[in-house]
Chain A
Amino acid sequence: MTIAAKFEIEYLQYLDAEGKQVRDDLPEFAKDLGHMVELYKLMLSTRVFDAKSIALQRTGKLGTYASCLGHEAAHVGIGSAMRPEDVYAPSYREYGAQLYRGVQPREVYMYWGGDERGNDYQKEPARHDFAWSVPIATQCLHAAGSALAFKIRGEKRVAVCTIGDGGSSKGDFYGAINIAGAQNLPLVAVIVNNQWAISVPRKIQSGAPTLAQKGIAAGLFSIQVDGNDIIAVRKAMEDALERARSGQGGSVLELVTYRLGDHTTADDARRYRGEQEVKDGWNKEPMKRLRNWLVAKKVWDDAKEEAWKAECDEWMDNEVNAYLETRTQPVSAMFDYTFAEIPADLAKQRDYVLSLENKGH
């Protein structure tokens, strides 16, 4: 028998669900316990932020909101591995990565609170990242196009996109990894496989045993990672970014995690999944294992946890207040950013709307 091609998908994990180290070869960054505490703190602040967002929605102060509960290791792992000059193209729930890159909670609230200015990230490096992308997987091609721009200009920058398990079914995802393989582009495509695309389970998305192996078809380095283990996520991301930056091509990472919350606040997951499954999800969630590991290393304890939570609460309260105090944009704002300069024909429509405002309509 002649074999035309052969491949395998590695599964990467350092910490099991209880926080026990399953391998000894810790990556360099994980030996810096101070840094690991910082990562834990950001994961915790992401969770506090998420709870605050849901509370805002439940009290009518936010529109529909997509929670990131359970994705903290995946998202912070992605954001913390990237360099400032890299470019991130998220979908719509990767707050852990985005907060790391300078997106402010008030901007998230503004976006889900019905104000486009939430997409106008004020702080670098988020300021040069893409905005949230609701049409599934379309952002993968924006990352591929960015990676192509970096290659054309000879810049040592990497474009990173994230999609869900559902997003990996779309042609945009395949198109992005396909051109990345064909053109050797510095692209890292990360599938955050949280097992559910609204009500549709992972097994209905694809017959492939791993989603990572879709990258093999495009000729990219491909790996499956425990997405609840931040050490594994960060390590896989660092390696992928380094390969891309040094011209060794793109990667596909599948981060296996679990969506502990509803798809969005407009969803009720009890309609389509059982309690036991969610309980199992909580047993494997990302905060507990890292906390256990840090506590065992004697760099974290309950007092620190409470103190940091209190700080996060204060931070989020400030952000919520800033959001709630934001005045609605003037009605002309819906016209002002349609083109660089408003065309005469459109200006007539704007003037009409302004005349209604002046009449008090």
Chain B
Amino acid sequence: MAQITLIEAVTQALAYEMAHDDSVVVLGEDVGVNGGVFRATQGLQEKFGELRVLDTPLDETTIAGVTVGLAVQGMKPVAEAQFEGFIYPMMEQIACHAARMRNRTRGRLTVPAVWRAPWGGGIRAPEHHSEANEHLFTNIPGLRVVMPSSPARAYGLLLAAIRDPDPVMFFEPKRIYRQYKEEVPDDGEALPLDVCFVLRDGTDVTLVTWGAQVKEALEAADALAADGISAEVIDVATLTPLDFDTIAESVQKTGRCVIVHEAPKTAGFGAEIAARVAEECLYDLLAPVERVTGFDTHIPLFRLEMKYLPSVERVVDAAKRTLAAS
């Protein structure tokens, strides 16, 4: 079986679903002949034709609104936002129509669509190409916000997102697009949405994260283990609707919680998790909740960006602070 990268897993999932469901179409800028700027749609237009893999005019509003129209007519569009920094013009269509169409028509019209976007920093990209803005979407009712952190989860979660009857934002951590390979059988098996994945069991501290930071969290867990500290690592995967039960169960066991994310700290999605921990697990806590995040600044251009992104050292320090507290 072939070993593939995260970006190849995205392509594999798209190809699988397009081959098995005629209503699946891909649209966006450069998704056709060019196969997308990251090559996520490589070879799809050759296989499925120009209408099902459609190069759109260069207008994000058009892509988002046309996606809503396609979905209401029973297609399953997978739209690509070329970079998450260009997603803002799409937000009106996503918030005002895609996410609320089912509700405002009492279920008469629905939008089974996926918006894919390469997400986050760390690839030495130009300005507006490194944003982490998932928290702008987690506050929108009726919308799923999903972020894979490995090739296998990219494949399984993208299949689930396309098959889901409601709109899904699918943020792909571009820093780990080609970071490593793993075996991903092309068997069409989806992974569950609305579920957090416990990637590593531990007893002393819970590290909660998603997307590219899963790598830092796992490396931090290794470093902590070397010091005799047992860290549990949770990949949130579906941010909303949140599977808080899995997080609560872990925090009740460890009594300590470190949340790691790339987006700015204030009102980032970590704030929601911290609030929920306070609401539901306060008396289980042995130490204050820690957040290791980007800062409340714009992500710097690439000479400084690694100073902005949460590092293994920052995660380890935070975990050790929770242990020092009790």
Contact = CB atoms under 8 A, between A and B. Distances in A.
B188 interface: no
A147 B61 CA distance: 17
Interface in A315-347: 333, 337-340, 343-346
A53 interface: no
A69 interface: no
A141 B66 contact: yes
B56 A138 contact: no
A87 interface: yes
Contacts of A141: 61-62, 64-66, 68-69, 93
A80 B104 CA distance: 26
B108 A127 contact: yes
Interface in A165-198: 171-172, 175-176, 178-179, 182-183
Contacts of B126: none
B72 A339 contact: no
Contacts of A151: 51
Contact of B66 (A131, A179, A345): A179
Interface in B212-233: none
B112 to A, nearest CB: 9
User: Which interface residue of B65, B96, B142 has the most chain A CB atoms within 10 A?
Assistant: B65
Interface string B102-146: 111111111000000000000000000000000000000110000
Contact of B105 (A131, A149, A346): A131
A282 interface: no
A175 B62 contact: yes
B65 A144 contact: yes
B243 interface: yes
A131 B109 contact: yes
Interface in B41-70: 51-52, 54, 56-57, 59, 61-62, 64-70
Nearest to B52: A152
A333 B165 CA distance: 19
Interface string B77-106: 100000000000100110011000011111
Nearest to A152: B51
B93 A339 contact: no
Contact of A338 (B97, B102, B245): B102
B197 interface: no
A120 B52 CA distance: 30
A119 interface: yes
Contacts of B96: 135, 138
A140 B75 contact: no
B270 to A, nearest CB: 17
A338 B141 contact: yes
Contacts of B242: 345
B284 interface: no
A340 B93 CA distance: 19
Nearest to B65: A141
A308 interface: no
A268 interface: no
A338 B142 contact: yes
A116 interface: yes
Contact of B69 (A127, A142, A346): A142
A338 B103 contact: yes
Contacts of A175: 57, 59, 61-62, 65
B67 A145 contact: yes
A159 interface: yes
Interface in A279-329: none
Contact of A145 (B69, B164, B166, B194): B69
Interface residues of A, number: 44
Given A138-B96, A142-B65, A148 B106 contact: no
A112 interface: no
A44 interface: no
B61 A120 contact: no
Contacts of B179: none
A329 B291 CA distance: 42
A337 to B, nearest CB: 4
Contacts of A152: 25, 51-52, 75
B65 A339 contact: no
Contacts of B61: 141, 171-172, 175
A143 interface: yes
Contact of B104 (A119, A144, A346): A119
A130 interface: yes
Interface in B264-312: none
Nearest to B166: A339
A142 B92 contact: no
Contacts of B74: 149
Interface in B222-254: 241-245
Nearest to A170: B61
Nearest to A87: B73
Contact of A138 (B51, B93, B194): B93
A282 B128 CA distance: 53
Given A138-B92, A343-B241, A178 B57 contact: yes
Contacts of B72: 130, 142, 145-146
Contact of B92 (A119, A135, A144, A148): A135
Nearest to B89: A171
Contacts of B97: 133, 135, 138, 142
Given A339-B142, A345-B243, A119 B105 contact: yes
Interface string A68-88: 000000000000000000010
B194 A343 contact: yes
A87 B72 CA distance: 11
Contact of B107 (A130, A135, A140, A337): A337
15 contacts: A119-B108, A120-B105, A131-B105, A141-B61, A141-B93, A144-B65, A146-B69, A172-B61, A178-B57, A338-B102, A338-B103, A338-B141, A340-B164, A344-B243, A345-B194
The 7 closest A-B pairs by CB, nearest first: A145-B69, A141-B65, A343-B241, A149-B73, A175-B62, A145-B66, A142-B69
Given A127-B108, A339-B142, A343-B241, 4 more contacts: A89-B69, A145-B65, A337-B107, A338-B141
